Amino acid sequence: MSADGDYTHAVTAVKKHGKKVFAVSAGYGYQLGCTVDAFIHIDARWMSGCYQ
């Protein structure tokens, strides 16, 4: 799960091999969202127990 634009190069490389890429994040990542096939935004509260 990430909304980091640093992953756009990796996503582009994977998609060149015909793969679909989905991003899931509690944040909004414009650059990554423009690169992936689908960007799924989740509510940050859903992840509240993950960092305990």
**Tens digits of per-residue pLDDT, 2-49?**
567 788 999 999 999 999 999 988 888 888 889 999 999 888 888 787
Which residues span the domain enclosing 25? 5-51
> Which helix (H) or strand (E) is 22 found in, with range?
strand 22-25
52: confidence class by pLDDT, cuts 50, 70, 90? low
Cβ neighbours around 5 below 10 Å, total: 14
The count of structural domains within the chain is 1
Give pTM, 2 decimals: 0.73
Q: Which residues contact 36 (CB under 8 A, 6 or more apart)?
A: 11, 21, 22, 23
The 8-class DSSP code of residue 32 comes to: H
Cβ neighbours around 11 below 10 Å, total: 19
